[in-house]
Structure formats: structure tokens, C-alpha cells
């Protein structure tokens, strides 16, 4: 019974991002050009990212509002024809692309909070489907920078990317 009570407390507690000083950063600010329009460009890949999750609004250097939870097909559909900051061509990133945003020196969330403010410590869709199970697709967990296969019918968060012209 004590274990159950501890787990209940553990689940409802709120956490602040925790970072380790003795681990090399994998997604520090120097790797991004942070734009004032709510986008950030990853210098190594040349990809432009929305700084906020789909559903949030970029305002005063922060992401406000609640992020939308979408199933995999809804996320792909939402990205199709999406316009943000005057740009089109937004899409759901593939697994390798989204994994470049993970900050492995940190957890809860495992992402650079200055470049990507108010990112949820949760799963985010990728466009990468499972090769073995048509009902699943890959997600990246910004709780601890892991990745996993999830049922496409589940409701998960989304961050969009575009290839810079």
C-alpha cells in the first residue's frame, strides 16, 4: 500500500527541468538561430522549427496556451498546408530530425527550454511509421529523450518542421 501511495504522489507532483553539468549538451542554444517570429533554425541541418507545439501560440518569447493532442493521421493532416510565421511547407518531422532536438543532458523536459519554451515532457509524433506494424508510428519522448513506437490512434503532441529554401 505504501508503494501505491508513493506512485500516486510521484505522478501528480510537478517537476522543473533537471540538467546535469557533467554531461555534454546535445542541443544547446549555439546550435540554433532563434528568430523573433516564433521559429528557430538548426544550423547543422538547416531545418526550421516551430518553437511552440501545435496548438500553442508564440508570444513575448514564450509559448502560451495548451498544445493540441492529435492522433498520427490528424498530425499529418494538420501539417498539410500549414502556414506559420509567413512560411508554408511545414510537416511532421521524421524520427531522426525530431531526435536532433533532444537535450540529453536534461530531463523533464529533455529539450532546450530557451529555444523551445514550454515544451511538454511528453511524447511527440514523428512522420516515421513502423516497418513491422502498420498501426504504429515512432514518437520522441521529451521526458527523457527516448523514442518508442506508439499506436497511431493515440493522442500525442506535435511540433512541425520545414526545410529552409
Cβ atoms within 10 Å, residue 114 = 13
Domain coordinates of the chain in residue numbers?
Answer: 31-163
Does 6 score more than 60 pLDDT? no
**What confidence score (pLDDT) does residue 18 get?**
75
What end-to-end distance do the CA atoms of the chain give, in Å? 58
**In the predicted model, what is the mean pLDDT of residues 119-123?**
93
3-class DSSP state of 150: strand
Residue with the three cell numbers 513575448: 60
Task: Report pLDDT for 15.
Answer: 53
DSSP 49: E
Kindly report the average pLDDT of the chain as a whole number. 87
DSSP per-residue letters across 35-48: -TTSEEEETTT-EE
With a cut of 70, say whether residue 132 has pLDDT above it: yes
Topology (CATH) of 31-163 = Mannose-Binding Protein A; Chain A (3.10.100)
Amino acid at each position: 500500500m505504501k508503494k501505491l501511495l508513493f506512485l500516486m504522489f510521484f505522478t501528480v507532483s510537478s517537476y522543473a527541468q533537471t540538467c546535469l553539468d557533467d554531461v555534454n549538451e546535445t542541443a544547446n542554444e549555439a546550435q540554433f538561430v532563434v528568430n523573433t517570429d516564433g521559429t528557430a533554425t538548426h544550423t547543422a541541418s538547416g531545418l526550421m522549427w516551430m518553437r511552440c507545439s501545435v496548438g500553442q501560440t508564440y508570444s513575448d518569447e514564450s509559448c502560451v496556451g495548451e498544445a493540441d493532442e492529435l492522433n498520427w493521421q490528424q498530425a499529418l493532416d494538420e501539417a498539410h498546408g500549414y502556414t506559420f510565421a509567413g512560411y508554408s511547407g511545414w510537416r511532421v518531422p521524421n524520427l531522426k530530425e525530431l531526435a536532433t532536438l533532444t537535450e540529453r543532458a536534461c530531463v523533464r523536459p529533455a529539450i532546450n527550454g530557451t529555444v523551445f519554451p514550454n515544451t511538454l515532457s511528453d511524447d511527440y509524433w514523428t512522420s516515421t511509421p513502423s516497418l513491422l506494424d502498420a498501426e504504429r508510428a515512432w514518437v520522441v519522448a521529451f521526458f527523457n529523450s527516448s523514442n518508442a513506437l506508439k499506436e497511431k490512434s493515440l493522442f500525442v503532441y506535435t511540433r512541425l518542421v520545414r526545410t529552409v529554401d
